[in-house]
Amino acid sequence: MTNKKKAVYTLVVQVGRAKNDGLPKGSTGAGLLCYASGIDEPEAVRETVAILKQADLAPLDVAGHGTIEDRLTDGEEIGEEELELMERAEKENSVIIAQMTPFFEN
């Protein structure tokens, strides 16, 4: 049995409304930027969805944007603050919600 190293994946999660979700009044949901540790991206997605459900959020869709290495290879610039959050997710084997953007209808 091989012991695969965990990586940190960048995920963008769309959540809808749910009772006690803590989202701003009048919002229709939110987009969350998350950094999640996992053996692979499907595991990181599963862990993220489970944690968001425990937090009374209603995940609707998850888009994976790869690992730090994937993003750097694609030419993305990653800032120091973002790297620190990714390192924290890896060190703590956790999911970090780095940003929440509420959605409102016009």
What integer pLDDT is reported at residue 3 of this predicted model?
60
Quick: pLDDT tens for 75-101. Answer: 999 999 999 999 999 999 999 999 999
Note the pLDDT of residue 106. 72
High-pLDDT (> 90) share of the chain, % = 92
pLDDT band at 4 (very low <50, low <70, confident <90, very high): confident
DSSP-derived letter for residue 32 is E
Query: How sure is the predictor about 67, in pLDDT bands with cuts at 50, 70 and 90?
Result: very high
Q: What is the pTM for the complete model shown?
A: 0.91
User: Over the stretch 31-54, which tens digit does the pLDDT of each residue have?
Assistant: 999 999 999 999 999 999 999 999
Per-residue buried b or exposed e for 45-78, using 16+ beta carbons within 10 Å of the residue's own CB: bebbbebbeeeebbbeebebebbbeebeeeeeee
Mean pLDDT of 10-35: 95
